[in-house]
Structure 1
Amino acid sequence: MLFQSPARRPLSTFVALCTLLALGACGSGDELQSSAVVAPAPPADPGFVDSASIPPVPAFVDNAASNQRNDAHFATLDTNAGVRVVARFLDLWQPSTMIVDARASAPAVDGFPAVVASTCSGLVNSGTACGTILNAAVLSQNTQFVVNETVARTQAQADAAYFDDRRNKGYSVTDGMGPLTGAWLGLTQQTTTITSIPANATTTLYNDAGNNTGVGRPANAAFGTVVDFVNAMSTNGSTEPAKRFYKYARPYRWSSSVVVAPTLVPAESATPATDGGFISGHTAEAMRDSMAMAYVVPQRFQEMMSRAMELGENRIVAGMHSPLDVTGGRMQGLAVVAANLYNPANASLKAAAYAQAQSALMAQTSTTSSTFNTFAHSGTTATDRFADYTANRSNYLRRMTFGFSQIEATDAAPVVPKGAELLLETRFPYLSADQRRVVLKTTELPSGYPVMDDAEGWGRLNMFAAADGYGAFNGNVVVSMDATQGGFNALDTWRNPISGAGKLTVQGTGTLRLAGANTFSGGSQIAGGTLEADSASALGTGDVYLGAGSLVVNARGVVSVVGKFTQLANTTLELNIGANGQGSMKVGAQTTVLGGTLHVKFVDGFKPKAGDTITVISGNGSNVKFSAVSVDGFKATPVYASSGVQVHLDS
């Protein structure tokens, strides 16, 4: 029921109401808000906008074409971008020099030109035949990690490792789509021949004769553009140049204590000199395919990133790769996709693939742009292995470092590679390219971890955290959303704990939800659209200024406004109130309300009754007066006091 405050209320009438309700600390509306009250100023503009400069080094996205499989034996740091992106491995290991044998009569090896590599021949049992150990502690830990995982491996883990090894990676990662998996498989027409583990898998090698990513154009008109896009994102993605350059052995050649999964023993190469462990090709391919799928279906962005990282760890569980192998594969995989997104030749393909994926999957699932994201997360842990957000986040972070300690400076400045912002292009369509770079900058890992401090910044990128929005507000952050475009343009949630001294300004018509334990101090200004507080500290530690649009409080606790709260006319403050003050607002400094609407809902089973008085705002509120107050399910009267605002449920 809507309560319209009269322009002027006789003092006697207000006093009578206070007496009737037996509520202390009431004052007259004229005393609480006079026409002379001046609204406080909005939070101060910090005067600058944060940025993430492009590192002054050769960019992978500009040189990706140098990473060619046929040039693997000739690859160097200077000539091959795929080798260069993981160059910090040279802090730990110095590969031997290989001499190219250019004789035309020399037989090719594994499809490559013949080489003479006298220092890189035979088994690498000692770990020294193909190079020199520079950091024994890290490399020993690298191998011991594999020993520990393979010795403790369960049968279920061994089976998962087998499937991720023998299946085509494009098919293998598809279950990261969760509730969309069936629709995705049907539309792509993906197939695999590895549907079970044969009884003789311990002695016979089985290869997947399926079609990997599916059927492209023109045979697949309904989804072929998407399939073509996924395939295009692996262009220039060979890991062979890095393997041949670094010449670092697989873990089971470093230690006999590594227990290769029995079903994968037939997959062991008989030619160690051409079977490098660093970097992991399976991991790189899984990251490329998963990142491409996340681009066209950003509703499953974090789940697809989690699936890629899981496949990487399964390479360790299998005994086939080490943590540093997997780290290198992750880094190169991300760089390859960014380079292909950056390539102007793919501009129309990526736009068409995104549009086709969204429309076709919505049609298959009978959803719309406003319900598709909900459906994409409608599974349970019994039906969607990636339904547990907290577990996904924890596992992703663990798999980024695999327990390695930082071995160098931990406070180096963040570094964001050129073109990396394109990886978030569909996840944050309402942010600019510069803003997406800042998202990557403020969510990346600290410096100092082995291999990950590459000059461009691929190693420290935390794509899971980046998909949860900014990690810090440094300077002025303006977010403008357009609800008419649907999807994340209409509604998005940032779950990171946001720090910094910057200010957030929300504009447009969409809804931005803040759900982290935030400490940013520059304040929040709503100048259009809706800002929703989904955690008790969502609004940080600054002022909150509701000048246009709406502020929604939807937290599982009392939401704190540490500074001032100001609400102007023609705005709405919506409070979703539960038991024990849930969803109410506590203001630490001055509360000023010069009109606007207060809308109160009761949620989570909270059922007050007529006659109850509910505190909705607490704090210093000497200048508070809403133009309208509505409480769902009740006729209600606002009660203004210097200590805040209550609503009395009349009937």
Structure 2
Amino acid sequence: MNTEKNLNKRNGLYLAMVAAATLMLSACGDDNNDDNSTADISKPVMPAGLGFEQYVAAPDAAYPLPVILYGKNNGHSTLKYSIHDNPYPHALKGINSIWKGTSDAYQSAASGSGPDSYEANPIKNAAVWAANIAYVEKVTAERSDEAAIRAYLDDRRGKSYSVVDGFGPLTEDYVANSGTYYDITEPTVAQVLEDSHYLGDSDDSWTFTGDENSAFGAAVRFTNNVRYNMAATSTSGSKYIFSTPRPWRMTSTGAVEYLGNDLRTCINSSGAPADINFDIYNSDVSVIPGLVCARRKSNSGDEQSLRKDGGYPSGHTNAGVVSSLSLAYAFPERFAEHVVRGSELGENRIVAGMHSPVDVIGGRIMALMSAADALNTTAGYESGQAAYNQLHAFYETKAAEAGMSLYDYAHRTLAEGETGSVIEADGVTVNADVFNNNDYDDHAAIKALYRFRMTYGLPQDSSQTGQPAVVPEGAEALLKTRQPYLSDAQRRAVLFTTEVDSGYPILDDSNGWGRINLVDAADGYGAFLGDVSVTMEASDGGFSARDWWRNDISGAGKLSKAGSGHLTLTGNNSYSGGNVINGGTLEAASASAFGQGDLFVNSGTALVDARGALQLGGNITLNGAAVLKLAMDADSTQVATAETLFIDGATLTLDFAGLTPQSGAAYTLLQAGKVAGEFSHVDAGDYEVMLEYTGTSVIARLN
């Protein structure tokens, strides 16, 4: 009896231990073990996608396009003045359908003196032209004092210096190590905001970019190469060809009504007076008082003098955007911020009352063309890489000392007192120094702002919307450091799928340059119009180690992720081709991040860190070398699909860093139309969990 009783006890203990071990190892707490059997459920096949990658051909382009072949014509003494020989005005010719004051003959052979006469009835699209000037009237009427001071500084300081503050919290380090500087006398606040007789200093040449023998000499050299040496970036040829009026010369309809002349006494920063003759016009545009004397003086006594004062394209905008693009290329961790800072300089030309939206749009288009022209040369590429390497060696060390990744260090929030002001502490003097800032730290906001500035809300022709995107030859070079893990063909696809719609003034006639949205493009694909294969290696550092695709991705293509790097999808995605993970980490940071197709993990990690349950429209397959990592939160379900969840011995990792669970609490991890298989291992950190499988869910219960 005792022996039998002891044996029964031992058998009972053994069975209990087996049951407990089974519960912990197989994580099966359901009474019906057949519910998660794979016997009656077929393993899903890997998603096929479309079976091809998207290929974006360069547009048909006759001479003088593409710019990467004929851009140097813009520096030629005679070719620069011909719309038929200079690729820049050729790409800017859309202005002729809005306002055309010079003849076809003149546009074929303009001169640096400007036209002798203007076409009758130059306004060709009254609605667009009126909207163009209305924006200037509104902005100049409503500008704040700070906005006026910033616009004044962007007018007077060297453009390559001004845009350096796109570095945000890294700005002052860049200034100290590059030697970039300005050479203007800092005016008083009153001189900028109130004194229309003040004529402040101005500076802008390659010397103010910095010292090419400094610690950041390669970055200085690269900016100068892009702006001055490797591309012909001057706007003068285009300005004389089109000779559009400045906004302060226009009425609310965009007409030019000359009222006579004003002999104005202007006093420079040293206090010396000079009498300068200016044209005066009927206009509601309010030029910043401190810039009134900086307008172009009259050349003809008491006669109207428009000849050498063309507004389109804006030269300041072109210079600022070109400089910003070089910094974005050399330091892509702040790519979007640099690009937006360039656009800010363009906006400030409008705030100043010196330019209109079409002028700024033209300047931006020219800048993209110029930068691409420079970057498509071997010397331009090598100069850019040297700048990239130099800046990263310095800032990576700084980031490591701060215990941060370079990306986080470049986007850190500054404490109160760590930023500067455009007004000195005395409240009297303007501060012309750039300074550390968080001006561009709201990514969604700057993304929307840049998108607006691409068109400035000018009327869109509904009959011309929905036209295919156009990616000009060589444009892909602009993204080379921002997306180093993509091929040139893939970067072209990124540009194609993130361009703005057609139908907007000027943009459709630009050979594609006007529709390129670099801020959206920096956030990855806008659509998978073919299958996309990405290999990111963490050992390569930078964005090859970690990147974020923040656009809303549509299309029927498939995403395949390989390599040890980490790619995060954050958008409201609807692509249907599925996801295949063959290495590294693919992260879902939104409820629709993985689109409407399958998730098939061969190896590597599928990380889910979304607000709300990750919703998939297809099957989920987790193979033996796969890891599913869930950042736990209070959502009722972490991942859901109406289709099959097939677990082929994968590993499950639960991260409770964002949640304080209670003992005995149960969490539905996965819900599916049907569930087959089990996880081979569960890692919940300091927590002990048991998994329960039902026919339609996987549940974690905390001990």
TM-score (norm. length: structure 1)? 0.89
1:635 counterpart = 2:629: no
1:41 counterpart = 2:45: yes
Structure 1 residue aligned with 2:223:
230
Structure 1 residue aligned with 2:254:
none
Structure 2 residue aligned with 1:505:
560
Superposition pairs of residues 57-76 of structure 1, within 5 angstroms: 57=61, 58-68=65-75, 70-71=77-78, 75-76=81-82
Q: Secondary structure at the match of 2:624?
A: coil
Distance 1:610 1:410 in 2: 58
Q: Aligned pair in 2 of structure 1 residues 598, 195: CA closer, same or farther (>3 Å)?
A: farther
Structure 1 residue aligned with 2:453:
399
Contact 1:192–1:212 (CA under 8 A) maintained in structure 2? no
Give me the CA root mean square deviation. 2.6
Of the structure 1 ranges 90-99 and 160-169, higher mean CA displacement relative to structure 2 is found in 90-99
Structure 2 residue aligned with 1:181:
171
Structure 2 residue aligned with 1:541:
596
Shift of 1:38: 5.0
Distance 1:193 1:314 in 2: 20
Structure 1 residue aligned with 2:126:
136
1:250 counterpart = 2:250: no
Contact 1:381–1:388 (CA under 8 A) maintained in structure 2? no
Contact 1:233–1:340 (CA under 8 A) maintained in structure 2? yes
1:454 counterpart = 2:450: no
Shift of 1:15: 11
Q: Secondary structure at the match of 2:360?
A: helix
Q: Secondary structure at the match of 2:508?
A: coil
Structure 1 residue aligned with 2:117:
119
Structure 2 residue aligned with 1:103:
none
Contact 1:71–1:241 (CA under 8 A) maintained in structure 2? no
Structure 2 residue aligned with 1:337:
371
Distance 2:507 2:104 in 1: 26
Contact 1:612–1:648 (CA under 8 A) maintained in structure 2? yes
Q: Secondary structure at the match of 1:232?
A: helix
Contact 2:185–2:200 (CA under 8 A) maintained in structure 1? no
1:413 counterpart = 2:417: no
Q: Which amino acid in structure 2 is aligned with residue 208 of structure 1?
A: S
Distance 1:31 1:274 in 2: 82
Contact 2:311–2:359 (CA under 8 A) maintained in structure 1? yes
Of the structure 1 ranges 9-18 and 488-497, higher mean CA displacement relative to structure 2 is found in 9-18
- Per-residue CA distance 1:457-502 (angstroms, 9 max, x = gap): 0000011100100000112110110111111001100000000011
Shift of 1:455: 4.7
Contact 1:536–1:560 (CA under 8 A) maintained in structure 2? yes
Q: Which amino acid in structure 2 is aligned with residue 81 of structure 1?
A: P
Q: Aligned pair in 2 of structure 1 residues 88, 611: CA closer, same or farther (>3 Å)?
A: same
Structure 2 residue aligned with 1:54:
58
Shift of 1:88: 1.2
- Per-residue CA distance 1:76-125 (angstroms, 9 max, x = gap): 2211112112111111122324989xxxxxxxx9xx7657x4315xxxxx
Please, which of 233, 237, 260 is the counterpart of residue 241 of structure 1? Answer: 237
Shift of 1:587: 1.9
Q: Which amino acid in structure 1 is aligned with residue 90 of structure 2?
A: R
Distance 1:447 1:42 in 2: 37
Shift of 1:193: 3.1
Q: Secondary structure at the match of 1:77?
A: coil
Q: Secondary structure at the match of 1:353?
A: helix
Shift of 1:531: 0.5
Distance 1:96 1:90 in 2: 9
Of the structure 1 ranges 321-330 and 154-163, higher mean CA displacement relative to structure 2 is found in 154-163
Distance 2:209 2:400 in 1: 23
Contact 1:284–1:332 (CA under 8 A) maintained in structure 2? yes
Q: Aligned pair in 2 of structure 1 residues 49, 99: CA closer, same or farther (>3 Å)?
A: closer
Please, which of 284, 290, 293 is the counterpart of residue 263 of structure 1? Answer: 290
Contact 1:178–1:386 (CA under 8 A) maintained in structure 2? yes
1:610 counterpart = 2:637: no
Work out which of the two has the higher radius of gyration on C-alpha atoms and give 1 or 2.
2
Q: Aligned pair in 2 of structure 1 residues 611, 325: CA closer, same or farther (>3 Å)?
A: same
Distance 1:142 1:70 in 2: 32
Distance 1:497 1:163 in 2: 37
Q: Aligned pair in 2 of structure 1 residues 209, 77: CA closer, same or farther (>3 Å)?
A: closer
Q: Secondary structure at the match of 1:632?
A: coil
1:203 counterpart = 2:197: yes
Q: Which runs of 5+ in 1 are unaligned?
A: 1-8, 101-108, 121-127
Structure 1 residue aligned with 2:89:
83
Structure 2 residue aligned with 1:169:
159
Q: Which amino acid in structure 1 is aligned with residue 660 of structure 2?
A: K
Contact 1:482–1:490 (CA under 8 A) maintained in structure 2? yes
Q: Secondary structure at the match of 2:348?
A: helix
Structure 1 residue aligned with 2:32:
27
Structure 2 residue aligned with 1:3:
none
Shift of 1:212: 5.9
Aligned-residue sequence identity (percent) comes to: 36
Structure 1 residue aligned with 2:420:
none
Structure 2 residue aligned with 1:515:
570
- Per-residue CA distance 1:323-378 (angstroms, 9 max, x = gap): 00000001010110000000223232122121112112323454599711110011
Superposition pairs of residues 430-579 of structure 1, within 5 angstroms: 430-579=485-634
1:377 counterpart = 2:411: yes
Please, which of 389, 396, 418 is the counterpart of residue 362 of structure 1? Answer: 396
Distance 2:366 2:613 in 1: 45
- Per-residue CA distance 1:387-416 (angstroms, 9 max, x = gap): 111211121111111111212510111000
Q: Aligned pair in 2 of structure 1 residues 209, 268: CA closer, same or farther (>3 Å)?
A: closer
Q: Aligned pair in 2 of structure 1 residues 99, 442: CA closer, same or farther (>3 Å)?
A: closer
Q: Which amino acid in structure 2 is aligned with residue 603 of structure 1?
A: A
Of the structure 1 ranges 400-409 and 297-306, higher mean CA displacement relative to structure 2 is found in 400-409
Q: Which amino acid in structure 2 is aligned with residue 275 of structure 1?
A: D
Q: Aligned pair in 2 of structure 1 residues 10, 452: CA closer, same or farther (>3 Å)?
A: farther
Distance 2:163 2:145 in 1: 20
Distance 2:494 2:677 in 1: 37
Q: Which amino acid in structure 2 is aligned with residue 496 of structure 1?
A: N
Shift of 1:144: 1.6
Q: Which amino acid in structure 1 is aligned with residue 150 of structure 2?
A: A
- Per-residue CA distance 1:289-315 (angstroms, 9 max, x = gap): 000000000000111111111111111
Q: Which runs of 5+ in 2 are unaligned?
A: 1-13, 252-282, 299-305, 417-436
Distance 2:104 2:49 in 1: 58
Shift of 1:37: 6.5
Q: Secondary structure at the match of 1:459?
A: helix
